[in-house]
Amino acid sequence: MKEKPIGIFDSGVGGLTVLKEISKLLPNESIIYLGDTARVPYGIRSSETVVKYSIECANFLHKKGIKILVVACNTSSSVSLDILKEKLPIPVIGVIIPGVKAALKTTKKGKIGVIGTEATVRSQSYTKRIKEINPAIEVISKPCPLFVPLVEEGILEGKIAELVIDRYLKEIKESGIDTLILGCTHYPLLKKSIQQYMDGIKLVDSAEEVAIEVKEMLKELNLLNEDGGKSFKTFYVTDDPERFKKIGEIFLNYGIEKIFKVSLEEDK
């Protein structure tokens, strides 16, 4: 069981932010990553569609023999996490709670901003979790639907990125927040440009917190892999492996060797 891989899925390349942090913290662990690139972005879909896609991704990875599932997609974590926990016989971790905990530790003024896809913001998942822990916190949320296409196209800096960031974040910047949750795993790839614009405001990327939670969960279940000699990383996508490879390698700073195109429909 210890040598079984960790499974991670996202709608595209964004979940690589989570993979990167898990790899840093748990270098001996094998990882299987699934990017549902044929159907990205999830954030503009209905809740029913997101749940359907999430179940298909989860089933695909479970059949690969994973020991734990990380739902690296915020949209999926917002609407599908409880359903996936019920359906799968293995631990399932999302990205919402770790991000919330980090933001609450960070804020000094009690005013937190949340940016995410339309589905994540509509679900109010971050606001609900924050208010459950501390009802006094003020939360300002804003959907940023063009951020995911920017990342998927590799447009992470420059004039186009700056114009889109200004369009979405001007109002939230002026609202007086001191902490901003990047409520989509794609957004950390834009972190440098967002941080320049949100000068003086702390950005919360839940990927680091998720990695810590994965380590704690595996330790608790006695599933940590101490032997890294046989560890591997395998990538699956549902469309255009070369495009994913190109953007993924820029972010990960190493070559992606094992990448395969799959159909989740056939996997049912």
Q: How many whole angstroms separate alpha carbon 112 and alpha carbon 128?
A: 13
- Report yes or no: 90 and 71 within 8 Å, Cβ to Cβ: no
Phi, psi (5° rounding) for residue 239? -165, 140
Q: Clarify whether 144 is annotated catalytic.
A: no
Q: Which burial class, exposed, middle or buried, applies to 235 when counting CB atoms under 10 A from its CB (0-12, 13-18, 19+)?
A: buried
Active-site residue flag, 73: yes
Looking at 73, 148, 165, 198, which residue is catalytic?
Answer: 73
Specify whether the CB–CB gap between 194 and 150 falls below 8 A: no
Residues 6 or more apart whose CB falls under 8 angstroms from that of 25 comprise 211, 212, 214, 215
Question: Which residue is catalytic, options 93, 184, 214, 218?
Answer: 184
Residues with Cβ within 8 Å of 214's Cβ and at least 6 positions away in sequence, in order, are 6, 22, 25, 26, 68, 70, 93
Catalytic residues: 73, 184
